[in-house]
Structure 1
Amino acid sequence: MRKPQPDRYHHGNLVEALIAATIDIVEERGVEHVSVREAARRAGVSPGAPFRHFATKTALMTAVGEQAMDRLKAAVDAALQATLDQAPLARLEALGSAYLQWALRNPTHFQIISSRSLIDIAASESIRTANAAIRAVMVGLLEEARRDGALAPDLDIAQTVLVTRAFGYGLARMAIDGHFGEWHTAEPPADAVPKALRLFMGLLKAKPS
């Protein structure tokens, strides 16, 4: 028999309780077992209680995605604030490191925010705004590095943003999905990921004349 779920709900925090319950379901049973009613049961509220907040599973998963993005953005902002006195490419590396470290520490949140089949990006202004803000910072740092002569001169900024994003996302996805056992057995992902990031950043730098 299943152990009874603790009553998570306290007045005023139903949304937070439902999000926490959803994370538990994903981690224990997989995304396919998430439902608004099951989240309500785990949160200790009536089956109908969540529907004024989340009419569908997608709406509930999008709320988890918004929580994930808020936390990711906070990690990125902290890294950028801590490197205000550093060169633009060093700050870009700090941004990438914050993203990767957050993903490795929060694999469930990362998987949910990464999957456009689980969440409704068009319905979430907060996710779109945060994504746009991070992209704008990346563009700004690359443009500043170009003005300083630190960026390889043949790199197109827009393409470099795309490749940088793809690299970070792909590296995080490989680590979380367990691909390192096939492609890099020398060390665990926590050690290999920052070294890979450093290697990638070296490819963006202008070569000494």
Structure 2
Amino acid sequence: MAKAKAPHRTGYHHGNLREVLIDAAVQLVEEGGPDNVSVREAAKRAGVSPGAPFRHFSNKTALMTAVAEQAMSRFRSEITDAVEKVATDDPIERFAAVGIAYLRWAIRNPTHFQIISTRNLIDWDASESLRHDNEAVRSLMEASMAEAQRRNMLRSDDMAETQIAARALVYGLARMYIDGHFAQWAVAGHTGEQTMQNVLKHFVTLIVK
């Protein structure tokens, strides 16, 4: 499966080194996985001295955390936009929109998805923006589920378990797609996205009355 490539900048210009290093880190992950990343290698890609990046990133974890922050911000924006475009006041439709947007973003940004979902690559606890954006996405799902519960639309009263099941489903589907597991289930590559959406819709039918 072809991976979406990070945009290649024309090179380092005064004032944009941080962004160039972030792009370089993404490219290094795409080429050889997270173990391929180092601050020094990112500096080499940026065409600057080995010591220059340390004004912005003290170590690899700090660099990868910055990549994750950028990715999570875009992730939150895309999911928020998808929910806002739902034309009805049906909370189940909003809930499904969160899941579909999650899957679409993941399969179009596999490297970024890998980074934000691998906690040992980043300093999650130290990043307020990561936690804030993640909570914003989670709140969109929780709000739709809470409204559905108030309207007596759900089979279960246990919202925590239902939300965990939903999160596990979309995360698992995204990982299966990105890691190439769908072929084992006779799912052709060009039908993968539609298959994931169909599975999500099936899940929704199981939780609603």
TM-score (norm 2): 0.91
Please list, as runs of the form range in 1=range in 2, the aligned pairs for 1:91-170 lying within 5 A after superposition: 91-152=94-155, 154-170=156-172
Q: Which amino acid aligns with 1:99?
A: Y
Q: Quick one: percent identity of the two aligned structures?
A: 52
Match of 2:47 in 1: 44
**Helix, strand or coil at the partner of 2:125:** helix
Counterpart contact for 1:80–1:95, Cα < 8 Å: yes
Question: Post-superposition shift, 1:144?
Answer: 0.5
> In the aligned structure 2, how far is the partner of 1:149 from the partner of 1:8?
56
| TM-score where L is the length of structure 1 | 0.91
Classify the secondary structure of the residue corresponding to 1:122. Answer: coil
> What is the Cα deviation at residue 16 of structure 1?
0.9
Partner of 2:5: none
User: Is 1:73 matched up with 2:37?
Assistant: no
Q: Count the aligned residue pairs.
A: 201
What does residue 180 of structure 2 align with?
178
Structure 1 residue ranges without an equivalent (≥5): none
Does the CA contact (< 8 Å) of 2:9 and 2:20 recur in 1? no
Contact map agreement 1:6 1:43 (CA 8 A) in 2: no
Q: What is the CA-CA distance between 1:148 and the residue it aligns to?
A: 1.4
Runs of 5+ consecutive residues of structure 2 not aligned to the other structure: 1-7
**In 2, Cα distance between equivalents of 1:60 and 1:10:** 19
Shift of 1:85: 3.0
Higher CA-based Rg: 1
- For 1:88 and 1:184, locate their aligned partners in 2 and report how far apart those are by CA, in whole Å: 33
* Change in 2 beyond 3 A, CA 1:90/1:6: closer
Tell me, yes or no, if the aligned pair for 1:7 and 1:43 is still in contact at 8 Å.
no
1:75-130 deviation per Cα after TM superposition (whole angstroms, max 9, x unaligned): 11100111163300100100110010000000000001010111110111111111
Q: Distance in 2 between matches of 1:77 and 1:16?
A: 24
Deviation at 1:149? 2.1
- Secondary structure of the residue aligned to 2:119 is coil
Tell me the C-alpha RMSD between the 2 structures.
1.6
1:20 equivalenced with 2:58 (yes/no): no
1:198 aligns with 2:201: yes
Aligned AA (2:128):
E
Distance 1:179 1:155, change over 3 A: farther
- Is the 8 Å Cα contact of residues 78 and 101 (structure 2) preserved in structure 1? yes
Change (3 A) 1:26 1:66: same
1:34 and 2:37 correspond? yes
C-alpha separation between the residues in 1 aligned to 2:153 and 2:158?
14
Tell me the distance in 2 between the aligned counterparts of 1:130 and 1:164. Answer: 18
